Amino acid sequence: MEVKIGVQHAPREIVLESGDSAEDVERAVADALGGKAQLLSLTDEKGRKVLVPADRLAYVEIGETATRRVGFGPL
């Protein structure tokens, strides 16, 4: 699923493809904003880690899990 992270005072957002569920990403964001963690830590599908300071988060957009279609059928 696609996750977009807006960071304060940064001109561009961070976009990553995460293999985690929407609930796991939401829980990580809630922990960071609730003060349980000082960093929002997410891992993308290739195993790279993205760390954002919790006090710099502007927004987090969690996309739908998209299933990949295979074949020549209609969309």
pLDDT the model gives residue 9:
94
Report the C-alpha gap between 26 and 59 in whole angstroms: 12
pLDDT the model gives residue 6:
96
pLDDT the model gives residue 66:
62
Please, are residues 51 and 4 in contact by the beta-carbon 8 Å criterion? no
pLDDT the model gives residue 28:
95
User: What is the pTM assigned to this prediction?
Assistant: 0.80
Residues of the chain falling short of pLDDT 50: none
Whether domain 2-62 has CATH 2.30.30: yes
Q: Which sequence spans correspond to the domains of the chain? A: 2-62
Quote the tokens at residue 31.
């922990």
